[in-house]
Amino acid sequence: MNAVIPEPRTAAPATGQDPGPRTPGPWRVHPADPGLTGIAATVQALLEPHFGSRLLPLGTVHRHDVPTLTLALGDGADGSPAPIGVAPDGAARPVDESYRLTVEADGILCRAATPVGVFRAATTALQLLVTSGDRVPGQELTDGPRHAWRGLLLDPARGYLTPGEVRQVIDLAALYKLNVLHLHLTDNEGWRLEIPGIPELTAPAPDGTPRAFYTTDDYRELQAYAAERFVTVVPEIDLPGHCATLREALPGLPDAPVPEWLAGRFPFVAPLDLTDRATGEAVAAILADVCRLTDGPFVHVGGDEAVGATDESFAHSVRELRSLVRKSGKRPLGWQESSRAGVEPEDILQFWVDVPMMDLPDTSDEIAARPELVTAGTTLEFVQALKSFFAPTDQDLARILDGGGRVLLSPQSHLYLDRAYAPEIVPAGREGDAARLGFPTYRPLGVEHTAAWDPASHGIPEDRVAGVEATVFAESVESLDDVTTLLLPRLASVAAAAWAGRAPEWTGHRARLAHHGRLWEQRGLAYLPSTEVPWVTAHEG
């Protein structure tokens, strides 16, 4: 078998006795079409952490003793159906990403009808070269995606990553054929994007400490870097709740009206009141700058967990946020809660939770049986308040569908990768990381649990699915190593389901995963070597 993830739709061994090329190198990358020269440079950059000096410079002439990774435009169709969902680049129909890859004695040929299809083939070739041991067996693979939108949310608002670290995550996403990077740029804990119209948002703290944020140049360069890997950046400015940093930068903004039942009961950062003139002007300036700086067609406006706003205030805020984004020529996205402001056919809402999915206890005894809840100091009163607050989420999905909107699938149950790992699958010596990382009240689970998720399990008609997006919120992280430890190996499972449109078969998937630790190590990425997977060491080939 090959160890490619997502598993290719078809895989056939080469005819005859072709042993395939040796992997130790040297190797060269060759664009057979002039229009693929830029993609060849990107593929070369992705291969360098694995090949180093064994990778010959681009433009090296053909040598019979050096295998070649050839990139070519041609027939890449694999007979798979057209992808479903929303195209991240805003096109009316998703681009053809199907490809055909052929391994022969003199190298690997990547063919597709489009440049993006050629790039997807090249990432498959990279996985083959890294995971196949000393020789890539002769074979032909064909593949194409089921979902057009395959995303990953990063949370630099809570766990800042430098631009260089974000680039490492973009590379990782591209290697597993993800094509959207959703940046959660603002929250109570931080504001991470320079807004030229409101410099106070990223000014030094009152004690003079500089704040970590992305300058407008940083943001433009990250988008360009992602685009070279066929990844679209979607920024999120999370409002009207999650706004402590905005309130700190612009003191005096009034609170949204509070529902009578909640007033004074629980502490929260009051959501914004967008009926207030000063607040509306500030938010309009922010979104105008974000839209102007964003190359892609989508801007996410949040709309989740606006604790402390009346239904009327929340609905007004969401409608205003959507309107401001559209006035700037972009398409708004929002979390599922924003469906309560109304849904129209052009709306895309991100489905992440309902009360059953939250897996909350009903009694004090059930709390006592959950170590993660005991450690977090969870009380029955707090659980009951959570259930009451989140009760409307049980109808959000129906609201989206009834209004004719599209659903972006990010269910907390499987695609929130800030979930702690179950202690029983954590290898010796990694107990500290496993105990420290993950949202404190989620039930710890294993890699197999994530891999079991089926995109069709929610019963949403295919024509109403926008796509699939994993998230890794950063309440518990302090470094890139922490982020990738939460992501890996689980991100590969989500990528497989998003690409194929179904859960990967676990026995085969874990066998393929076993070879990917080598890939992550060569790229300098930390991961959790779950005992569920029979990891293959470098010398085992």
Report DSSP letters for 437-463, one per residue: SS-TTSPPB-HHHHHT--GGGG---GG
Query: In a structure prediction context, what are the per-residue pLDDT tens digits for the chain, which is 541 residues long?
Result: 699 999 999 999 877 666 789 998 899 999 999 999 999 999 999 999 999 999 999 999 988 889 999 999 997 666 778 899 999 999 999 999 999 999 999 999 999 999 999 999 999 999 999 999 899 999 999 999 999 999 999 999 999 999 999 999 999 999 999 999 999 999 999 999 999 999 999 999 889 999 999 999 999 999 999 999 999 999 999 999 999 999 999 999 999 988 776 666 556 789 999 999 999 999 999 999 999 999 999 999 999 999 889 999 999 999 999 999 999 999 999 999 999 999 999 999 999 999 999 999 999 999 999 999 999 899 999 899 889 889 999 999 999 999 999 999 999 999 999 999 999 999 999 999 889 999 999 999 999 999 999 999 999 999 999 999 999 999 999 999 999 999 999 999 999 999 999 999 999 999 999 999 999 999 999 999 999 999 997 545 5
**Cβ(486)–Cβ(417) below 8 Å:** yes
Helical H segments across 376-525, by residue range = 380-390, 396-402, 412-415, 431-436, 447-451, 480-487, 490-500, 506-513, 516-522
Give pLDDT, residue 389.
87
Domain ranges for the chain:
10-143, 150-352+390-540
Give the closest residue to 240 by CA, choosing from 256, 260, 223.
Answer: 256
- Exposed, middle or buried, 485 (CB in 10 Å: 0-12/13-18/19+)? buried
Give the closest residue to 408 by CA, choosing from 508, 304, 479.
Answer: 304
Count of alpha carbons within 13 angstroms of residue 418, beta-carbon side: 19
Query: Rounded CA gap, 109 and 68, in Å?
Result: 8
DSSP 47: H
Helical H segments across 102-234, by residue range = 115-131, 163-175, 216-228
The sheet carrying 107-112 orders its strands as 10-13, 139-143, 99-104, 107-112, 68-73, 28-31
Query: Rounded CA gap, 343 and 404, in Å?
Result: 7
Quickly name the fold that domain 10-143 has: Chitobiase; domain 2 (3.30.379)
Dihedral, 70, 72, 74, 78 alpha carbons, nearest 10: 50
- For 248, list phi and psi in degrees, rounded to 5: -65, -40
**Inter-helix orientation angle 480-487/490-500, to 10°:** 50
| CATH topology match: 10-143 vs 150-352+390-540 | no
The full 3-state SS of 220-234, as one line of letters, equals: HHHHHHHHHCCCEEE
Classified as helix, coil or strand, 345 is coil
Query: Rounded CA gap, 461 and 468, in Å?
Result: 14
- For 353, list phi and psi in degrees, rounded to 5: -160, 155
Give pLDDT, residue 260.
72
Query: Rounded CA gap, 182 and 480, in Å?
Result: 16
Measuring CA to CA, how many Å separate 490 from each of 105, 121, 176, 280? Answer: 34, 22, 12, 40
**Cβ(27)–Cβ(69) below 8 Å:** yes
Query: Rounded CA gap, 366 and 316, in Å?
Result: 39
DSSP E strands, 34-95: 68-73
For the domain spanning 150-352+390-540, the CATH number is 3.20.20.80
Query: Rounded CA gap, 383 and 381, in Å?
Result: 5
